Amino acid sequence: MNNSRPRYPPGIGRGGGGYIQQNPNFHSRSPHQPQYAQRNVAQNQHQQWMRRAAATDGSVDSDANNEVEKTIQPATVDSSSQDWKAKLKIPPPDTRYRTEDVTATKGNEFEDYFLKRELLMGIYEKGFERPSPIQEESIPIALTGSDILARAKNGTGKTAAFCIPALEKLDRDNNVIQVVIVVPTRELALQTSQVCKELGKHLRIQVMVTTGGTSLKDDIMRLYQPVHLLVGTPGRILDLAKKGVCVLKDCSMLIMDEADKLLSPEFQPSVEQLIRLLPENRQILMYSATFPVTVKEFKDKYLRKPFIINLMDELTLKGITQYYAFVEERQKVHCLNTLFSKLQINQSIIFCNSVNRVELLAKKITELGYSCFYIHAKMLQDHRNRVFHDFRNGACRNLVCTDLFTRGIDIQAVNVVINFDFPRNSETYLHRVGRSGRFGHLGLAVNLITYEDRFNLYKMEQELGTEIKQIPPQIDQAIYCL
């Protein structure tokens, strides 16, 4: 590793000091000293001793010699920082164009944060190459134990920005809940827990996900087994805590993803009750793309000298081309059919404003001959899970949904978002459109606008500081095919 690059202060990535004693293979790194110098010296000393012993006494026990050589072998394998990387199953690099909200970094590497070797292995095998801006800002601060209030654009790596420090600070030998990640929707809970499991697959830590709509009995039985990190929706976690099976007295970190939604009247009372169950020295991390006025009151009440991160000043909708088509209500399905025939769609998400319209539109799209799933909050949870899983795995090209799917859902193949019904406010618009153009890739948003939507369209352009252009007549020639 290039030691000339500025590094974060030693000790940031050691999980509060407990990690050194718990992991005998850990050796702290210094900018002025090779990481494995002591191992190499010890090995050379041993080899010299063995040569001297063999020269002076031919009776050296060969079995003992083999045993000693076996103990040296792991150190030999680890002696170069490249050896362990060479053995990783790293996916091929993503060569697609990326916008500057994920490429304009300080040049840091994940190894600069002194993370556990097993965690680094999971990070690289997940396909992460270098930290994105929000990860560069968040990870070192979170590792120090400070509270964080972070705002960054959809699809720029917020989930990893809090999962990585959370996994780093976990003590796998302490079988209690140490980290709780609270999210507003069941699909986001499943997605976040999966990211934690993938990043921490070499850590031997236990991740559990719990949401409403699933078996409470199964969750209670699971909590009798070791759980280090818990991901879930506020109501279900609180329910389990009140029953005495979800013990949070040792939970030192609470993470609120899509924090603005968690501060809505629907969730905030439950979140505040959860905070009261945490120990006095807890750390709170809050992440979202948008923050309402209510966040200030919450921040002043529960966060202690929080570190404020705001990467949204100029990066709101970069990389996403936005168009509107002025249509009558009865023309919408025909217009959608035209878009399907003209656009190069990897996967698309189509938003409606009501559950009934979701099901009707999905039926129409299927009748037009296109593959289509639909999802909304009134479906059975098992059915929702199956649709989400299958769509994410590419089983279908188009998904019709309500705003249930606007929060944090990360499906890399989605390059087109269509607002069949125009959203009612700019915050919802921002989250909907953010489902395309994930992690700095190019995306396209098309809005079907009726006469009643015209003033709302203008208002959103002003509030978001963006331009939504009228769709060109020759859409197949004018729209960049993503």
Cα 371 to the center of its chain, rounded Å: 28
> 132-136, 155-159, 265-269, 277-281 — which is least confidently predicted?
155-159
Q: Which of 80-94, 179-193, 383-397 has the highest mean pLDDT?
A: 179-193
The sign one gets for the Cα dihedral 425, 430, 431, 436 is positive
Q: What pLDDT, on a 0 to 100 scale, did the predictor assign at position 222?
A: 94
In CATH, 320-478 is 3.30.565.10: no
Q: The pTM is what?
A: 0.60
Q: Is the per-residue pLDDT at 235 higher than 70?
A: yes
- DSSP helix/strand/coil, 286: strand
Helix (H, G, I), strand (E, B), or coil: what is residue 35?
coil
Q: Does domain 100-310 have CATH number 3.40.50.300?
A: yes
Same fold: 100-310 with 320-478: yes
Residue with tokens 């990387």: 85
pLDDT tens-digit map of 272-289:
999 999 999 999 999 987
Contacts of 53 (CB under 8 A, 6+ apart): 60
**Can you name the residues that pair with 209 across neighbouring β-strands?**
231
The residue ranges of every structural domain in the chain are 15-81, 100-310, 320-478
Give, rounded to a whole angstrom, the gap between the first and last alpha carbons of the chain: 37
User: Does residue 406 sit in helix, strand or coil?
Assistant: helix
Rg (CA), the chain: 26
Element (H, E) at 150: strand 148-151
> Which of 47-51, 168-172, 287-291, 393-397 is least confident?
47-51
- Give 481 or 141, the one with higher predicted confidence: 141
Residue-wise pLDDT tens digits, 95-122: 554 555 555 567 788 999 999 999 999 9
Give dist(CA 157, CA 103) in Å, integer: 11
Strand partners, 33: 30
- Give the pLDDT confidence of 314-367 residue by residue, as tens digits: 445 666 788 999 999 999 999 999 999 888 888 889 999 999 999 999 999 999
Residue 195, CA atoms < 13 Å, CB-side half-sphere: 23
- Give the type of residue at 68: V
pLDDT of 119 reads 95
Q: Report yes or no: 149 and 307 within 8 Å, Cβ to Cβ.
A: yes
Decide if pLDDT at 77 tops 90: no
